[in-house]
Every structure is written in C-alpha cells, then in structure tokens.
Amino acid sequence: MPVSSPPPAPRPTPTDAFPTSTSQTQAETESILLQHIPSNADAKQGLAKQSHMQFLVRSLVQGFPSRYTSQDASQPWLLFWTIQAFSALQVGLDPGNKQRIVDKIMAAQHPDGGFGGGPGQAAHLLPTYASICTLAIVGRPGPGGGWDQINRKKMYDFFMSLKQPDGSFLVAHHAEVDVRGIYCLLVTATLLDLLTPELVSGTASFVASCQTYEGGFSSASQPYYAATPSPSPSPPPSSTSDSTTSAKHARRLLEKPRPPLGEAHGGYTFCALAAWVLLLPFRETEGEQDAQPKIDVGNLLRWLVMMQGTEIELGGFKGRTNKLVDGCYSWWCGGAFALLEALGVGGAGSSAPPAGPSSGEEEEWDDMDGKMVFYRVRFAPDTQAARLIDTLFNRKALQEYILYAGQHPAGGLRDKPPKNADAYHTLYCLSGLSAAQHRISVATSRREQLRKAWVAGASQDTKISESTLPEEVRMKVFQEALAWTEEEGGSLIVGGTENRVSLIMFFAFTRRMQNATHPVFNLTITHSEGLMSYFYGQNLPPRAK
C-alpha cells in the first residue's frame, strides 16, 4: 500500500506586516508545534497511558518534586488532579492509598467549616471543592471514610459568611470575589445537598453580570448601590457576616451598571457557565421569564469557538484573545461546549439559534438537518464534515493537539512543548480529551428514570438552615445533575480505540457504569452518582443498556 505524502504546511498566523513581541512569540510557538505533526499522514499517535500512569504514581507514592513547594496551599488540588487523572485513565487505587488520601484531606477540614489548602490553613472555596471531589473518588460512608466526617452544617455557615449583597461570594474571609469560587461553592453544595434559596439568592444575576462584550466571562463585576437605604434589604445578612457586609446589605443594589472586571478568560468562562447550568432549577421557579437575568449565549458560543486554534496551532485552545494555545484549555474551553448544549445550543434536537440577546449577525448561523452548525468550526476536511455536523467545535483537531503536542516523552501531559508535564495539565488535558472523544448530554429518559425513583423527604439528618428547598426543586437539582449520559454512537476517537479515556463498563450484564467525565463536576459520572445518591438519600435506578 502506498504511503500518503505529508499534507502541505499550514498557513502561519498573519502579522499584517507589523510584527510585535507577541506575534514573534506566536510564530515561535507555531514553529515548535509544527515539529510535532507526524511526517507520515497515515501514522497513528497513541495515548501513552502507561507512561502517564507512572508519572502520576511517582508523585503519589514518592511525593511531588521540590518545584511544587509553592503549591503548599493547594494540597487538596494536587491530590484531586492526580487521582481524577487516574480515573480518566481507568486506573483504580488500592484501599491503603485511598485511606491515606482520605486522612490527608480530612486533616485540612477547618473547625469552622470548609476545607483549607492544607492542615491548619484557612478555609477557602477552591480547596473545599478539590477536597469534596477527592472524597467523591476515594471516600465512603462510615467511620474513617470521610463522607460522614464532613461537617455539612459548619460548611453551610461558612458559605453564608462569604455571601455578598450582589449575590457573589468571597473565596475566603478577607479575600476577593471570584467566579471560580462561586463554581466551587455551587458544585460542593450540589454534591452534598446544601443548596437553599438564601444561599443562591442573587447569584445568577451576578454570574450574568460577569459576561464581557467579547462573549466570554471575567472574574467578577463591580456592584453599585443606591445612595438611599433599601426599605427591605435582600438578601438578609447572615448571622456570621461582619459589620461591613451587614452595612452593604442595608443599601439597595443597582441593577445597572454592573460592569465586568477584566477580560474574558477560559477558566472564568467555564466556571461561570457551569454555575449558570447548576442554577437553572432555581431560575425556572423565579416567576416571570422577562425579569430573570440572561446571558448572551450566541456571543458566548462565538467566543468559545474562536478560542480554538487554527491548523498551525494543531487545534488546541487558548484561554484569552491573542494568547497562545495551552493544553489546560482543552477542558476549560473544550469542556464548555457540553454545557452550552444543556442550554439548548447545538446537539440533537436543536433547530433554532440560541436564546439570548441578538448580536445582529444572523448570517453566522445555519440550520443543517435540524442541527445548529457554527460556521467557525474550522479547517475540518470534507471527509470529517458528517461527523462535525452535530458538534460545536473541532473534536478531531483538539484530540490531535493533545496527542501530538500535549504528551511529554517522559510521561504526564503539559501546556505545550517544550514545557514540562505537571499534575494540573495532566488532568485537564485528559479531561479535555474525554470531552472531545465523547458526547455527553442531559438525557430525557434518564431524567424521567430519576424522577420516578425519587423518594420525597429522604436526606441526611443534619438540619443545615432554616431556609430549605421546596421538594420539587430539590428533586430537580438531583435529576438535572445526574441525567448526564453518554450518547450512543457519539464517540469520535482519534488514533484508534486504544486511545479512549473514560470507558463505559458493564458488570455481569446487569449494570452499566458511566465513567465518562461529568461536564459540570469534572468527576466521572459514576463517582458523581455515588456521592449525590448518598447525601440525598436516594437509590439510583440502573441505567438502561
């Protein structure tokens, strides 16, 4: 069989005859990336699972290298990045290592609620998320298992003590507001059955206010208050709030202006969009649709698609406009498209432009066979067109970036060559690879299964707040979080099935285990189901094969 000749070299990014230090760095990056394209067009690039597993094992067993000293306040994150990467590679841990991790995580629980970055450190929303997700993977009910040792009441009080009058949250006491912290709080509260009306009051409006003119989201927005006090402050200050927060609650928050602070960013955008999806069960019960906060979904989609690199960038994602591609955005940007589908953009059954303010550019949308196709899905060969009709980004190109440029020869995954591998990029490259390989969506059939199996009133015994969710909303939170299902026939695996991550497994032909990555939590669906079913007091019905 004749060997295919290499394709012509991709076109470099134009400089408009005005080179800058930024364009020179871009050109250098493109030159390095080109060297990682296989010279033989028929060559298959494998996912070096064994090497990546050994890279992760070295860190877990021998300890992280000295360069991780700066991450002392991120110890739960180091564990989460490592063991969730194991999950993506279908690697299980032995009971001894699981218990070591549980003990390490529980040592970081703060006596006043939440988790810190290590033993004795202040509680913070970000390591709280990492701690709970880690316990979802290695923990269990019962003595020493971690789940029953989580102080949910104090954690809820900690969350409320961070609540701000504009619906946002500080990431820690005496710290800043950051939409990433809101994502971490909402995921934790969803997993542990801690959501209440007072906790999420005003939060959707804050998230919407962080959207920038580009379409992506920034870290926060600037609130403004009326000069005259509000006759009925809402939401009320919590009993643990300080006097400054209480004073702010006495002022009336202005609906406008609420300008976003900073530029659109891939990490902020994923967190804002995931938070928006988690808040949907509350927004659907908040009265008139016209009075609810809105985001410009069409502009958001355009921005996300534009973050995918061109052919010379191997289809990787960048995190901001005019920046370099980076493997971690395979998840922060590439993983966001499934969340858009949860809002009705793209995917099966979508036949109308996305809801939201019109951008005045209707010609950018095309209806093809009942699927929304964005013209900006770029450089896809005609032979791939049929596979890309029902997707919003170039899944094949993203996988090629991770396989060609993201893998370090010594194991682990990285930002881009010639950088070293690290735990952070190893996880988010693998999570992005999973998002590109598998189509995960909220399945109506699974939602109905969960609704029929719901047992009203079942929960953990601890009362966390006087503010409680209506049972219908609580059920909806549960079913929307766990109705995510991998679409049959929706996989696209570059390099052969041996490169597949996050397998679906069958046990004794009776149980179907979903090990695909949950688009909101970045856990496997199976681990998400295990933790939520325990804290909501529900028995999950088996998934249909």
pLDDT in tens, 370-382: 333 443 333 444 4
Q: How confident is the model at residue 6 (pLDDT cuts 50, 70, 90)?
A: low
Predicted pLDDT at 352: 37
Predicted pLDDT at 332: 98
pLDDT at 286 over 90: no
Predicted pLDDT at 145: 97
| Nearest-angstrom CA–CA distance, 85 and 65 | 18
Do residues 164 and 105 touch, judged by C-beta distance below 8 A? Answer: no
| Nearest-angstrom CA–CA distance, 113 and 152 | 8
* CATH number of the CATH domain containing 300: 1.50.10.20
pLDDT at 267 over 60: yes
Q: Which segments of 414-513 does DSSP mark as H helices, in order?
A: 423-437, 444-453, 471-482
pLDDT at 251 over 80: no
Does some domain include residue 258?
yes
Least confident of 58-67, 75-84, 339-348, 404-413: 339-348
Average pLDDT over residues 118-147: 98
For the chain, how many structural domains are there in total? 1
* Residue 415 is a catalytic residue: yes
* Residue 425 is a catalytic residue: yes
For the record, the structure tokens of 398 come out as 């993203």
Q: Reduced to 3 states, what is the DSSP secondary structure of residue 109?
A: strand
From 98, 180, 265, 500, the catalytic residue:
265
Average pLDDT over residues 365-390: 39
Angstrom distances, CA of residue 327 to CA of 278, 375, 391: 26, 24, 20
Predicted pLDDT at 467: 77
In whole angstroms, how large is the CA radius of gyration of the chain?
23
From 49, 104, 152, 425, the catalytic residue:
425
* Residue 103 is a catalytic residue: no
| Nearest-angstrom CA–CA distance, 339 and 301 | 11
CA atoms within 13 A on the CB side of 70: 1
Instruction: Give 286's DSSP letter.
Output: S
From 180, 249, 302, 320, the catalytic residue:
320
Do residues 56 and 470 touch, judged by C-beta distance below 8 A? Answer: no
Least confident of 298-302, 381-385, 438-442: 381-385
Do residues 487 and 519 touch, judged by C-beta distance below 8 A? Answer: no
| Nearest-angstrom CA–CA distance, 89 and 109 | 29
pLDDT at 1 over 80: no
For the ranges 97-101, 357-361, 490-494, the one whose mean pLDDT is highest: 97-101
Average pLDDT over residues 485-509: 77
Angstrom distances, CA of residue 129 to CA of 76, 186, 253, 502: 9, 9, 29, 21
* Residue 424 is a catalytic residue: no
From 100, 140, 323, 378, the catalytic residue:
323
Q: How confident is the model at residue 509 (pLDDT cuts 50, 70, 90)?
A: very low
Average pLDDT over residues 282-291: 64
pLDDT at 48 over 80: yes
* Residue 461 is a catalytic residue: no
| Nearest-angstrom CA–CA distance, 246 and 244 | 5
Does some domain include residue 501?
yes
Do residues 345 and 354 touch, judged by C-beta distance below 8 A? Answer: yes
**Element at 220 (helix H, strand E):** strand 220-221
pLDDT at 65 over 80: yes
Q: Reduced to 3 states, what is the DSSP secondary structure of residue 407?
A: strand
Domain holding 201, by residue range, is 44-226+241-354+379-535
Of the chain, the percentage scoring pLDDT greater than 90 comes to 71
Predicted pLDDT at 250: 59
Does some domain include residue 219?
yes
Least confident of 32-46, 290-304, 525-539: 32-46
Q: Which segments of 108-259 does DSSP mark as H helices, in order?
A: 125-138, 152-161, 179-191, 197-200, 203-209, 243-249
Does some domain include residue 405?
yes
Counted residue by residue, the chain has a size of: 545
- Rounded-to-5 percentages of helix, strand, coil across the chain: 45, 10, 45
Instruction: Tell me the residue type at 309.
Output: G
From 210, 326, 474, 534, the catalytic residue:
326
* Residue 112 is a catalytic residue: no
Least confident of 129-133, 167-171, 237-241, 522-526: 237-241
Question: 65 preceded by cis ω (within 30°)?
Answer: no
Predicted pLDDT at 5: 63
Predicted pLDDT at 44: 76
Average pLDDT over residues 351-374: 37
- DSSP lists the bridge partners of residue 505 as 513
* Residue 326 is a catalytic residue: yes
Angstrom distances, CA of residue 301 to CA of 97, 104, 346: 42, 40, 10
Between 366 and 528, where is the model more confident? 528
| Nearest-angstrom CA–CA distance, 218 and 259 | 10
Instruction: Give 306's DSSP letter.
Output: H
Angstrom distances, CA of residue 310 to CA of 2, 73, 401, 519, 536: 29, 37, 11, 25, 45
Does some domain include residue 424?
yes
Q: Chain-wide mean pLDDT for the chain? A: 86
From 415, 438, 439, 474, the catalytic residue:
415
Instruction: Give 310's DSSP letter.
Output: -
Do residues 520 and 277 touch, judged by C-beta distance below 8 A? Answer: yes
Does some domain include residue 72?
yes
Do residues 114 and 155 touch, judged by C-beta distance below 8 A? Answer: yes
* Residue 328 is a catalytic residue: yes
Angstrom distances, CA of residue 120 to CA of 108, 124, 281, 533: 7, 12, 36, 31
Predicted pLDDT at 510: 36
Q: How confident is the model at residue 16 (pLDDT cuts 50, 70, 90)?
A: confident
Predicted pLDDT at 465: 75
Does some domain include residue 109?
yes
Predicted pLDDT at 460: 65
Q: How confident is the model at residue 81 (pLDDT cuts 50, 70, 90)?
A: very high
Task: Please list, in sequence order, all residues whose beta carbon lies within 8 angstroms of the beta carbon of residue 278, skipping any fewer than 6 positions away.
Answer: 186, 187, 190, 477, 481, 520
Task: Please list, in sequence order, all residues whose beta carbon lies within 8 angstroms of the beta carbon of residue 66, skipping any fewer than 6 positions away.
Answer: none
pLDDT at 302 over 80: yes
Average pLDDT over residues 419-430: 98
From 268, 422, 424, 500, the catalytic residue:
422
Predicted pLDDT at 253: 87
Between 469 and 77, where is the model more confident? 77
- DSSP lists the bridge partners of residue 524 as 517
Q: How confident is the model at residue 247 (pLDDT cuts 50, 70, 90)?
A: very low
* Residue 72 is a catalytic residue: no
From 156, 183, 268, 329, the catalytic residue:
329
Predicted pLDDT at 290: 56
Average pLDDT over residues 389-403: 88
Task: Please list, in sequence order, all residues whose beta carbon lies within 8 angstroms of the beta carbon of residue 520, skipping any fewer than 6 positions away.
Answer: 187, 274, 277, 278, 339, 481, 484
